[in-house]
Structure formats: structure tokens, C-alpha cells
Structure 1
Amino acid sequence: MKPSLTRALAAACLVAATSVPAWSADDTLANDYPTQARVDYVFGCMAANGETHDAMERCSCSVDVIASILPYDDYVKAETILSMRQGVGQQAGMFHAVKQFDDMVANLRRTQAEAEIRCFK
């Protein structure tokens, strides 16, 4: 791995880990995403938007916006539906034919659009 990419990925991990507010075992955070999910998002976002410090900051912002709007369980469900739709055959078709799945994906897309407006414009 390139040294600059390694530094960027390490920085992304640090930003993702520190962007979550501190909380105690007695607190509950609405819509809190696990650190691993935030880092996975930032890695994918950086792959699509350039592996620069600026991209890392914008991608970290983006996942924070998404987490502030969309509960984590809804995010996982929508991402799973999108993943399954990429397949072929009857199983993939099943994920295209359900209106409820369309609504879940549309909600994710609206949230992503809001994150893009806030972080990439």
C-alpha cells in the first residue's frame, strides 16, 4: 500500500473514531453507527472521490450527516437490498419487485443526497 494512502486511511480511521460523541454505558445515542461502519463508508467514499485529505474530510462529514438522519438499522437494510439487487437470477429479482424495498432504498438515496449537499458542495 502506498504511504500516502496508508496515512489517509489511518486519518480516516481516526476521524471516524473521534467523530462519535463520547458517551457512557448509561447513555444511548440515537442513530449511532459502529466505528467499523463509519470507516467502511469513508474508505468506499474515498475510493470514489479521490484518496486525498480533502476527500477524507468530506467523506467523514458525509457519514456523519447520514448517521444523524438515518437510523443504523435502516442504513444496513437499504445497503443490503442494494447489494442483493446487484446479483442475478430469481433471488436478485425478488429484491427488485417489493415496493417496501424501493421505499427503503429511496430513503437512503435522499439521505445520501442531503449528505452530498452538506459536505461536497
Structure 2
Amino acid sequence: MMRNGVPVALLALLIGCGTAQAEDGYPTYARVDYVLGCMLSNGQGPDVVRKCSCSIDEIAAHFPYDSYVAVETARGMQEAPGERAALMRDVGWIKDLLNEFRQAQVAADLKCF
């Protein structure tokens, strides 16, 4: 059953996950959020769910959760309008972190897709 293009089972998992997290420190909600975003980019269906789940598992195996949170925060700040967001686009360590994450994501996608 689909609702607004998102499988209801994934929504139920996202809502009911609480603060569960794997040994690698990635909470379930972070994994589900990644998979939902991945599915929006790559389509829907069981095969895509498996590929997107594989991708976040690979990222989690090679990229610490604290760094993942920093990447998500930096992305949000960079996408915001205004001068403050512009300042965040030019910070060297943020560029390096985003580049490192992109490399982890590309490696995961090569393995999983």
C-alpha cells in the first residue's frame, strides 16, 4: 500500500522506531530517513529499498555517525538563503567533510546499485 508515493511500512518504521540504533551508532530513524531520500531519487519498490538500505549500511560501516550528523547539518546550513549560509559554503573543513561523505556515498552506490 502506498501513500503519497512512500510505502506505508517505511512510514510506520520511521514513526515507531524510537531511539533504536545499531552498533555503529546510526539510529534507525537516520537510516530510514536516508532510505526514503534515496528512494525519492531512485524510484520505489522492493529492489530499490534493498539497494538504498545497502547503501546506508555501507556508509555506516565506513563513515562515523557523528560525521554524518555534521554533513547533514552542513548541508542544511549551506542550502539556507542569506549571508550566513554563504559563509558556510566557503569553510574548508566543511568542504572536506562533504567531499569525504560524497566519496563514501559513491563507493556505497557502486557496491549496492
Identify the match of residue 6 of structure 1 among 2, 5, 8. Answer: 8
Query: Where do 5+ consecutive residues of structure 2 fail to align?
Result: none
**Cα offset for 1:90?**
1.0
After superposition, give the CA deviation of every residue in 1:10-54 in whole Å (9 maximum; x if it has no partner). 69x49xx8xx76xxxxxxx3x320011001111111111111110
Residue by residue, what CA displacement relative to the aligned partner does 1:27-82 show, whole Å, maximum 9, x if unpaired?
xx3x3200110011111111111111100000000000000000000011011111
2:38 maps to 45
Counterparts of residues 66-105 of structure 1 (less than 5 Å): 66-105=59-98
Q: Which has the larger radius of gyration?
A: 1
Q: 1:10 to 1:53 in 2, by over 3 A?
A: farther
* Residues 106 and 2 of structure 1, relative CA distance in 2, 3 Å threshold: closer
2:65 pairs with 1:63: no
> CA RMSD, aligned part only?
2.4
Confirm or deny that 1:109 pairs with 2:102: yes
1:64-107 deviation line (CA, Å, top 9, x unaligned): 00000000000110111111111121111111111011001001
Return closer, same or farther for 1:71/1:4 CA change in 2, 3 Å cut-off: closer
Unaligned runs of 5+ in 1: 22-28
Q: How far apart, in 2, do the equivalents of 1:51 and 1:35 lie?
A: 20
Equivalent position SS for 2:7? helix
